[in-house]
Amino acid sequence: MGLANQVFAQEGFLDKVYEYAKDLAANVSPRSTRVIKKQVYEAMFQSLGEAFTSAEHEMLESLKSQDFKEGVAHFLQKRPAAFTGK
């Protein structure tokens, strides 16, 4: 499911966590982060069908966002992303 993608040893744990958090903050669209956090919270109060419908709606909206276009452009142009959160 992608809920846990890495495991860190106790020694140096916080350093790795902060490194990962900095990477997310620098390289993930703020819009995407906002939507993911909202979906995780709301899913606690939704049925599976409701959560799926919401996720499908958010995916379609994401495809229309400025950050999606920027994500594709930065990947193709091999440059750092300049996300706006929109």
- φ, ψ for residue 52 (rounded to 5)? -65, -45
d(CA 70, CA 79): 10
C-beta neighbour count of 83 within 10 angstroms: 21
**Has residue 3 been placed in a domain?**
no
- φ, ψ for residue 56 (rounded to 5)? -65, -45
**Has residue 74 been placed in a domain?**
yes
pLDDT in tens, 61-81: 999 999 999 999 999 999 988
Tell me, what CATH number does 66's domain have? 1.10.12.10
**Has residue 11 been placed in a domain?**
no
Please tell me the total count of domains within the chain: 1
pLDDT in tens, 24-58: 888 889 999 999 999 999 999 999 999 999 999 99
Contacts of 84 (CB under 8 A, 6+ apart): 30, 66, 67, 70
**Has residue 35 been placed in a domain?**
yes
Domain region containing 43 = 29-86
Predicted TM-score (pTM) of the model is 0.70
